[in-house]
Amino acid sequence: MRTPVPKLIHRPSRSAPAALLALLLLALGSLGIWLLGYHLITGVWPQRAVTTLQAISSASFDSRWVLIIAGVAAVCGLAMLIAALLPGKFDRVAILQDDLPGQTAVSRRDLATLVKNQLEQIGNIHSATVRVHHSRVDVTAFTDLDDLSALNEVVSQKTDEALRTFQPSGITRSRVRIRQTN
């Protein structure tokens, strides 16, 4: 009896909104603790805090600053809500798929490094930049050669060969660009 292999785990999409909310709460909490400590030590509230609270309490809802702050807060809240509801992309990519039970997975950055190492074995390539997207690998290779079309074909073949070798799940195509260095 085999246990089923779980799917690769999505990266949590709530990490950015949670981090922003945590930083906001940390800042407000630190300010509150500082104000309370100041009041306990000196017996009075800081003058700047008193004037700020008086200015806030005297501001009307048709004030330009109140509307700007409310608009910024609404946009930030909406962005955090959208980021919390949308699922994150896969953090890892399944590679070397076969009929054996289990999965082999690497991070997208590691897959890019594997493809980059394959490309840097080409003689006329000085360096390469590889980015792995949802269904595509973007390659930018740098060379000193004048004839970029012939090298473009070689790099495309090497990239496709690397993709056939590693068989990344969901990544079916590549885009190659050759840049000439001076």
Q: Give the pLDDT score at 138.
A: 92
The total number of structural domains in the chain stands at 2
The residues, any chain, with a CB within 8 Å of residue 151's CB and separated by 6 or more, are 122, 124, 125, 141, 143, 145, 178
Same domain (yes/no): 96, 77: no
Residue 10: φ, ψ to 5°? -70, 145
Please check whether residue 10 lies inside any domain of the structure: no
- Write the pLDDT tens digit of every residue in 115-170: 898 888 888 888 889 998 888 899 998 888 887 888 888 888 888 888 888 888 88
Instruction: State the CATH number of the domain containing residue 158.
Output: 3.30.70.1350
Which range marks the domain in which residue 144 is found? Answer: 92-180
Same domain (yes/no): 74, 100: no
Same domain (yes/no): 108, 156: yes
Same domain (yes/no): 98, 171: yes
DSSP labels for 114-144?
A: HHHHHHTTSTT--EEEEEE-SSEEEEEEEE-
Please check whether residue 127 lies inside any domain of the structure: yes
Residue 1, pLDDT above cutoff 60? no
Same domain (yes/no): 122, 59: no
Q: Give the pLDDT score at 125.
A: 84
- Write the pLDDT tens digit of every residue in 6-57: 566 666 666 777 777 878 888 888 888 888 888 889 988 899 988 988 887 8
Same domain (yes/no): 61, 118: no
Tokens of 131: 């980015």
Same domain (yes/no): 71, 134: no
Please check whether residue 5 lies inside any domain of the structure: no
Same domain (yes/no): 97, 175: yes
Same domain (yes/no): 110, 169: yes
Please check whether residue 2 lies inside any domain of the structure: no
